[in-house]
């Protein structure tokens, strides 16, 4: 009939409008800093997490700086307590845009290697010129590094909801040399409920590592409106 639009065309138009509206809502939403933190913590897969961090990457440093991100200073202090300056290579696991690598580099550490799920975050990290290598890789089973390869590992802000699981710790121990250090943060909401406490204790009972120190809890991003946002830092020595 003249003037009638075929059903397929109507469906196609609806889909186009829906996609555009969704994209515009997502863009508006991404201008609110607090929402970005919630958004990445509600990711339900590595793919979703990588996509969300890719979208945030270019604005990430400015947001974290405006929130008064405290972890870099705290981690620098703890790294200085345990990791000798000539330790190399050092893995920055979940390196993101390289905020921690930058601090370690300024302190004089060399051979810092970045690993992250998000290519967008790694691209920003690469531009800082502080990493000897950068790998787009997921924390967890089957990490593509030889056993006993790293002198030390740091992992900051990456053990949280919607991020890397407790099983990541098995592989971090495998790729760290005996007597090497693993220093990492765990957010409060995943420490017990997310299985980190149990996993960390199992590894201690199995004599895989020795706990040296727990620092915190502290609020890592005081400027963000996030009631659960406390972290502890754990320092372990691999046996
Ligand atoms: C909150 S950011 C922290 C980045 C950086 N360490 C810092 O302190 O600014 C968390 C990072 O972990 C990465 N990530 C999330 N899940 C991961 C996984 N399963 N394996 C590796 N990286 C992951 C994200 O892409 C993101 O860059």
Which residue lies with its CA nearest to atom 19 of ligand 1?
164
Task: Tell me how far the alpha carbon of residue 32 lies from the centroid of ligand 1, in angstroms.
Answer: 20
What are the tens digits of pLDDT across the range 158-211?
999 889 999 999 999 999 999 999 999 999 999 999 999 999 999 999 999 999
CATH 3.40.50.150 matches 71-238: yes
Round to whole Å and give the CA distance between 210 and 237.
5
pLDDT category of residue 51 using cuts at 50, 70 and 90: very high
Max CA separation in the chain (angstroms) = 81
Task: Tell me how far the alpha carbon of residue 13 lies from the centroid of ligand 1, in angstroms.
Answer: 37
Q: What is the 3-state secondary structure (H, E, C) of 7-74?
A: HHHHHHHHHHHHHHHHHHHHHHHCCCHHHHHHHHHCCCCHHHHHHHHHHHHHHHHHHHHHCCCCHHHH
Q: Is 163 near ligand 1, meaning CB less than 6 Å away?
A: yes
Q: Is 136 near ligand 1, meaning CB less than 6 Å away?
A: no
Q: Is 60 near ligand 1, meaning CB less than 6 Å away?
A: no
Q: Is 220 near ligand 1, meaning CB less than 6 Å away?
A: no
Task: Tell me how far the alpha carbon of residue 93 lies from the centroid of ligand 1, in angstroms.
Answer: 7
In terms of DSSP bridges, do strands 150-155 and 176-187 run parallel, antiparallel, or are they unpaired? parallel
pLDDT at 91 over 70: yes
Q: How high is the pLDDT of residue 87?
A: 98
Q: Is 33 near ligand 1, meaning CB less than 6 Å away?
A: no
């Amino acid at each position: 009939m003249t003037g009638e639009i075929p059903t397929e065309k109507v469906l196609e138009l609806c889909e186009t409008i829906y996609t555009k509206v969704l994209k515009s809502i997502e863009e508006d939403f991404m201008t609110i800093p607090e929402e970005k933190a919630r958004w990445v913590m509600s990711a339900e897969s590595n793919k979703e997490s990588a996509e969300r961090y890719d979208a945030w990457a270019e604005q990430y440093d400015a947001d974290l700086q405006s929130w008064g991100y405290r972890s870099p200073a705290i981690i620098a202090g703890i790294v200085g307590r345990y990791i000798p300056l000539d330790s190399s290579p050092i893995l920055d696991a979940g390196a993101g845009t390289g905020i921690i690598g930058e601090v370690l580099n300024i302190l004089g550490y060399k051979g810092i290697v970045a690993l992250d799920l998000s290519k967008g975050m790694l691209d920003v990290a690469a531009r800082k010129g502080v990493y000897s290598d950068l790998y787009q890789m997921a924390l967890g089973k089957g990490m593509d590094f030889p056993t006993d390869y790293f002198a030390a590992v740091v992992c900051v802000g990456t053990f949280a909801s919607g991020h890397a699981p407790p099983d990541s710790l098995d592989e971090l121990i495998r790729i760290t040399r005996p007597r090497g250090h693993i220093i990492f943060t765990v957010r409060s909401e995943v420490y017990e409920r997310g299985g980190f406490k149990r996993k960390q204790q199992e590894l201690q009972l199995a004599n895989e590592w020795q706990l040296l120190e727990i620092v915190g809890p502290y609020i890592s991003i005081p400027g963000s409106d996030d009631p659960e946002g406390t972290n502890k830092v754990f320092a372990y020595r691999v046996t």
